[in-house]
Structure 1
Amino acid sequence: MKESLATIIDQLKLGDKKALDTLFYLYNKRIYHFGLSYFHNKEESEEIVQEVFLKLWFNRKSINRDGAFESYIFTIAKNTILNSLKKKIHHKAYQEYRLHVADITSNSTEDDVIYHDFEKLYEIALQVLPKKRKEIFILSRMEGLSYQQIAEKLGISVKTVETQMQLALKHFRGVLKSNTDLIVSASLFFLAAS
């Protein structure tokens, strides 16, 4: 099985979708049950399975055929689950903010505008990062990889990952600080209009 798994991984790395189908057949039920142990929800667990195999496909060239593939795919699953849970927490926090704070101003339009302004700022700030720094940031903040895992995945030192993350976070703070006035102005406009 180990030899044939290495062959399947080689085929996957070359872009063979049948190899992806084979891996899906081998691992999808276990990943589904892994997701189910966190979410206790069929639909969310199915989404996790789909996302894991999408990530596997898009990152196929970086798979180490000599490494422990099962450990690799379950690390993707774990990080995908944790990412999903983080998003749920952020969404829940935002909804609670709207319930408690937005009621004071009675202006959900203002909240929506501010929230979307922050989202746009974040996207713009992310897009202008240098390519490698952006990749490191995404692997850390969006895929939930540790600095050590990122260093191994990209073939760089942990110190380089730390430095690039510090620079990325400094960049985001700078963008946020320089655009705070714009967001506050929008907020005041909506308060004055209400």
Structure 2
Amino acid sequence: MYSPKIAQDITQNVFLKIWEKRHEINPEQNFNAYLFTIARNMVYKETEQKLLAEQSLRQLQEEEDVLDMSTIQTLDYHFTEELCRSLVEELPPARREIFKLSRFERLSNKEIALRLSISERTVETQLYRATRFLKRKLLSDEGLGLLILLFIIQSN
């Protein structure tokens, strides 16, 4: 269940914990017992996390058996795409147009600038602001944000 890497990580975390608590350690008390207690608690915590992860993985696998994976992926993609498009609609009109031309029509910054009679620098600035807005909105929704951010990146 444990590997040398996990043992090294726990050992490093034990010494980090001791370093963080160094001002609270009483030299009059048994340091070995203190060290053993910290190490034991970290091993228990690591074991609990592993068991929970395995349990979650088993549960996910059982749920995946019920649903066809391709259906799930299709639904996830459509949900993600729709959410992304709805967030794009929240952008100011000019920024929204520039973003759509860039991401959905795949025009270069130069082509967008020529089409809209603006400078390339303006296009870059508006794309930067649009992307920053979308990232902020998406990342505020925890794990969903990462999925949608991947959709935006893939649109490039």
TM-score, normalised to structure 1's length?
0.37
- The TM-score, its normalising length taken from structure 2, stands at 0.45
